[in-house]
Amino acid sequence: MTTKHIAVVPGDGIGKEVIAAGMEVLEAVSEISSFGMDAEYVDIGSERYLRTGELLTDDDISLLKGKDAIYFGAIGDPRVSPGILEQGILLRMRAVFDQYINLRPVTSWFPLVPLKREVPFDIHFLRENTEDFYMGANGTFGPNSGGDSAHVHVSRELYDIDIDLVAKASNGDDFAFEIGLLSRTAVTRFADYCCRYALDRGDGKVTLVDKANVITRNYGMQREIFGEKAAEYGLDLEFMFVDAMAMAMIVRPETFGTVAVPNLFGDILTDLGAQLQGGLGMGGSGNINPEGVSMFEPIHGSAPDIAGRGLANPIAAVLAAQMLLENQGFPDEGRMLHDAVRHVLDAGMTTPDLGGSLTTSQVGKAIADFVLGQK
Ligand code: ATP
C-alpha cells in the first residue's frame, strides 16, 4: 500500500456534489488496490470569501504545498463579482504551483458524441498554461485611453515598450494591445513534457497546433524547439494550423493522439473537444507541474443553476480522479475508473444531462460499486 496525501477542495456549487461522488469512487479504489489515500478537506471558495474576505491565504498555500496532489471541484458564485474568485483562487493557485501544463483528454463516449462518424477517438490535449497571449502583457494608448502615448508600461513588469513609432502611425487615435510572449525556457519544458507524455501513451507522434504562418516569431520559435525535442525522443512531429485543426477535430478526430497547443488556442480547442465528448459533465482536466503539486478538476464550473439538486453529472469529476491516479503512478487503477464510466454509460445509469434519471450521488455510487466489484 502506498499512501498519497490528497488535498480535497470541493469549492462552490456543484463542485461540492461532484467531489463527494468522486471521493466515494476514490475510496472504493483504495479499498481494493494498493492506492492508499490520506485526504484532507480544505475550505477554499466563495462561502469563506464572503465570510472572511480570504481567497487563497498563505496558510492555504503552505498546506497545499505539503500534499502529493489536489482534487478540486469548482469555484464560482453569483454573489461575487466575476473575476474575483477566478483570479484570486484558481489563477493564483496555477501560478503559485507553476502548473504549466493543462491536460485535457477528449474521448469518444458513444453514443453521447454528437458526431456523424462513429469512430472511436482519444485525443489528449496538452495546453501550455503560463504564457502566450494570457500573460497580461497589455496596454492602451491614445488621446482617450488615459495611457501615455509616448511610453507604455506593460503589466507584470515584463517589458517597457517604446511605442513612439506606433503612436506616430496611429494618427492620434486610441490603441490597445495584448502581447503574446513565449520564452525559450517555458516552450522547452512544455515540449519536453509533451514528448514524454506521447512516449508514455505509446503515440509515435506529437501534433503541434499553432498559427505559424501569421504569428511567425512566437510559433516559429516554438516549432524549432518542438522539432529538436521530437528528434531527441525519436517522435514524429506534425504541424497543424489552428483553423485547420478545428475542422479536423470534427471530420477526423481519430487521427490525433497527443496534441500540444499554446495557451490561447488551447482554451478554445479544448472547449470544442468538451462538446465532442458529450458536454461539460464528461471532461476531466489536470493542471500539472511534473516536478511539483498538480491539481485535478472537472472542466465545468460551479453551475449555480443546478447546484444543490442532485442534477450534476459526476463523471467529469471521476475522470479527473482517474487522471490524478495516473499522475500519481496508479495507471491500472486509473484504467479501472475509465472502465467503470464506460459501464455506467452502457447501462444508462446517468444524470439528466445524458438523458438518464439518476442523481449525482446515485451515479457516483454506481461507479464506486463497479470498482468494488473488481476486487
Ligand atoms: P462558473 O461561473 O462556476 O464557471 P457557469 O454556470 O458559468 O459556472 P459551468 O458550471 O461551467 O458554467 O456550466 C455551464 C452550464 O452547463 C451549467 O449552467 C449547467 O447547466 C451545465 N453543466 C455544467 N456542468 C454540469 C454537470 N457536471 N452536469 C450537468 N450539467 C452541467
Question: Secondary structure of the chain: what % helix, strand, coil (to 5)?
Answer: 45, 20, 35
The pLDDT, as a whole number, for residue 127 is 97
Segment 96-124 mean pLDDT: 83
User: 13 C-alpha vs ligand 1 centroid, how far in Å?
Assistant: 9
Ligand 1 within 6 A of 316 CB?
Answer: yes
Ligand 1 within 6 A of 353 CB?
Answer: yes
Give the contacts of 299 (CB within 8 A, at least 6 positions apart): 104, 270, 274, 280, 283, 284, 285, 316
Segment 74-97 mean pLDDT: 91
Ligand 1 within 6 A of 302 CB?
Answer: yes
Ligand 1 within 6 A of 218 CB?
Answer: no
User: 15 C-alpha vs ligand 1 centroid, how far in Å?
Assistant: 10
Tell whether the model's pLDDT for residue 78 goes beyond 80: yes
**How confident is the model over 21-61, as pLDDT tens digits?**
999 999 999 999 999 999 999 999 999 999 999 999 999 99
Positive/negative CA dihedral, 104, 81, 74, 96: positive
Tell whether the model's pLDDT for residue 155 goes beyond 50: no
Would you state the cell numbers that stand for residue 18, as one nine-digit string?
461532484
Least confident of 138-142, 241-245, 303-307, 334-338: 138-142
Tell whether the model's pLDDT for residue 161 goes beyond 80: no
Least confident of 29-43, 63-77, 155-169, 322-336: 155-169
Q: Please give the domain boundaries of the chain with CATH numbers for all domains.
A: 1-103+281-375 (3.40.718.10), 114-131+182-276 (3.40.35.10)
Our mutation pick for probing the ligand 1 site, out of 300, 319, 358, 363, counting the most ligand atoms within 8 A of Cβ, is 300
**How confident is the model over 211-241, as pLDDT tens digits?**
999 999 999 999 999 999 999 999 999 999 9
Tell whether the model's pLDDT for residue 124 goes beyond 70: yes
Query: 138 or 190: which carries more pLDDT confidence?
Result: 190
Segment 70-82 mean pLDDT: 95
The pLDDT, as a whole number, for residue 211 is 96
Tell whether the model's pLDDT for residue 204 goes beyond 50: yes
The pLDDT, as a whole number, for residue 15 is 98
Q: Are strands 122-128 and 101-107 parallel, antiparallel or unpaired?
A: antiparallel
